[in-house]
Amino acid sequence: MRLTSYADALTWLESHVDYERVAPNRQEIPTLQPVIDTLAMLAEPHHDYPAIHITGTNGKGSTTTLISALLSATGLRVGAFTSPDLHAVNERIAVNSEPIDDEEFIALIQRLSDVESVSGIALTRFELLTVAAFLHFSDEGVDVAVVEVGLGGTWDSTNVIDSVVAVLTNVDLDHTAVLGPTIGAIASDKVGIFRSDGVAIVGTTNAIVIEIAQRRVDELGADLWLIGETFELEQNELAVGGRAITLRTPFTRYDEVFVSLHGIHQGVNAATAIVAAEAFLGRALGDDIVTSTLAKARMPGRMELISRKPMIVVDGAHNPAGVKALVATLDGAFHVAGERRCVLGMLSGRDIDDMVEPLVTLGFTEFHCCAPHSTRAISASEVANAIRRHGGVAFEHPSAIAALAHARERSTDEDLIVVAGSLYLVAEVRGEVMRVRSRHLT
């Protein structure tokens, strides 16, 4: 099959099972063998460079992006594989922060189509993107690949790499139908990315997670670096436009570094990223690199201010832990004289009440509910009813754009509109406000 255009490549890719849009399950015995076999037919490109592997319930995307930026600033050629994307699938595969261009993307997908035709192995959409990223990094001659797990750890398609550094940001209840119903079960899946003779970095102080991580590194003979022990985030305070952090690493100390990201959790992510980069290098990054890189850090769709008058902030909080982080951030980071409204939409697989209750308690004037553009979307009426159960005022809308328009109509220049609940929703609103065209197939 010849793929002659970007649309052809997307159409072929989208013809494969997509567990990001269709709720995943583990009814079948999990295996990485199809990915391993496909990579073998491509001369195992994932062994052409060292790797850093990142997992966690929340924060893994931010941590991946920050590690990549820090290492790029040292002069290394750095590949980054992240998910999900907001406006184009190209965003997921980048070298030194530059997404793969259309022609390279088409060529990669063509190679995968050819391999599938010969082998008869039909990978899922995410598995194909994983293999495409590993191929691209090999073609580009990267010095290191920074790879974000898609889901879990042990059975994620990215877990074929032999990482020299593995990072576990945190563990909370999410994707319980796949990963297990408890923190312990989820942590046990995530520590599956740790490797013997490697460094395992844990960015949470949760005792259950630490115990499971310790047990895993003892089995492997790996080194365990714990926040609060091996490295210490001594300061993580609100600053104008972000956070101010002071960090002690195994190599050095950084005093009052400005991080241009909002939220206590982003201070923790930044600290974890610095330590992971230093673990890979085996030395301190240095004040100049850390200061300059973190001062210009950007995470589209994560506590991102995209408009003023009224102020519009989008955040991809999509599980209860993410919502709690959003709530903890809003009061300090985005002070407004007027009222606060929320455009809210979410996907199935989460407890609606656990998502809604903290937002209602925060005191939004009203909620504008809609269903994100996804087959897993929860209806606007179901979200609105949950808000009303908790005492909030809710409007129902047929689309994200309609919800945003109504929230804007009812707002003054002094008000704040927060968009949250799903990255699919954030992508729709961000695209509308910032005039960024979606390149996904409709």
Domain ranges of the chain: 6-295, 304-434
27 confidence band (pLDDT: 50, 70, 90): low
**Which residues make Cβ contacts (< 8 Å) with residue 46, sequence separation at least 6?**
39, 134, 138, 145, 160, 161
Q: What is the pLDDT of residues 108-139, one digit of tens each?
A: 999 999 999 999 999 999 999 999 999 999 99
Pairing of strands 93-95, 232-239: unpaired
Mean pLDDT value of segment 52-69? 96
Q: What is the pLDDT of residues 411-433, one digit of tens each?
A: 999 999 999 999 999 999 999 99
405 phi and psi angles, rounded to 5 deg: -60, -45
- For residue 251, the model assigns a pLDDT of 98
Residue 271 has pLDDT above 90, yes or no: yes
- For residue 148, the model assigns a pLDDT of 98
Residue pair 280/164 in contact (Cβ under 8 Å)? The answer is yes
**Which residues make Cβ contacts (< 8 Å) with residue 405, sequence separation at least 6?**
none
Residue 333 has pLDDT above 90, yes or no: no
What pTM did the predictor assign? Answer: 0.93
- For residue 331, the model assigns a pLDDT of 75
Tokens of 166: 């593995």
Determine the CATH number of domain 304-434: 3.90.190.20
Mean pLDDT value of segment 295-318? 92
- Please tell me the CATH superfamily of domain 6-295, with its number: Mur-like, catalytic domain (3.40.1190.10)
Q: Say how many C-beta atoms besides its own lie within 10 A of residue 15's C-beta.
A: 11
Location of structure tokens 């599980």: 319
- For residue 329, the model assigns a pLDDT of 87
Mean pLDDT value of segment 132-154? 96
For 177, 322, 374, 381, 401, the CA distances from 370, given in Å and listed in that order, are: 25, 19, 11, 8, 9
325 confidence band (pLDDT: 50, 70, 90): confident
Mean pLDDT value of segment 83-89? 94
232 phi and psi angles, rounded to 5 deg: -130, 120
Q: For the residues of 402-435, what is the DSSP string, one character each? A: HHHHHHHHT--TT-EEEEES-HHHHHHHHHHHHT
250 three-state secondary structure: coil
Which of 4-18, 230-244, 313-327, 400-414 has the weakest average pLDDT? 313-327
Tokens of 111: 């190679």
